[in-house]
Amino acid sequence: MEDEILDLRYFTITNKEDALTYFENKGYDVSKLIPFIKEELYKLNIYEGEEHPLVPYPSMTNGKMLINKVSLVNHKWILTDFTDGKHWGELFLTYEINDAGELKFKTVEYLIFPFN
């Protein structure tokens, strides 16, 4: 069971010592930084209009597209899923914190699952 758990957690920042060290060397407390990055992504779910700032698909329901789950892979990549309550998809994002401490996200790849 432990091996299975380790396999499932392999592509997460918490198991990437080099990624954690990258942030620590820049003076960040990773125990605070990781939740902050996730929270900033969830904050993007509060938006005006039809278009989510990162999700390139419009909602096909009366709801909005919202980021649902977030997984930091390492110090540069994030995987998320999103939904409008009926349709689901996934995003591959990059992120960086510039010298001014500003967090920037970029959508690199995305998909929406076929409709049933």
Mean pLDDT for the stretch of residues 77-82 = 97
C-alpha closest to that of 88 among 104, 65, 56, 62:
65
Total domain count for the chain?
1
Amino acid letter, residue 1: M
Average pLDDT, the chain: 92
Torsion of CA 11, 17, 19, 25, to 10 degrees: 170
- Which tokens sit at 36? 């902050």
Enumerate the H helices of the chain as residue ranges. 2-8, 17-25, 30-43
Mean pLDDT for the stretch of residues 62-82 = 96
Q: pTM for this structure?
A: 0.89
Per the document, the length of the chain is 116
Q: How far is CA 46 from CA 30, 86, 87, 112, in A?
A: 25, 19, 19, 21
- Determine the Cα–Cα distance for residues 1 and 9; give it in Å rounded to an integer: 13
Q: Binning pLDDT at 50, 70 and 90, where does residue 93 land?
A: very high
State yes or no: pLDDT of 25 exceeds 70. yes
State yes or no: pLDDT of 7 exceeds 80. no
Tens of pLDDT, residues 28-40: 999 999 999 999 9
Query: Where in the sequence is the domain holding 80, given as residue range(s)?
Result: 2-112
State yes or no: pLDDT of 101 exceeds 90. no
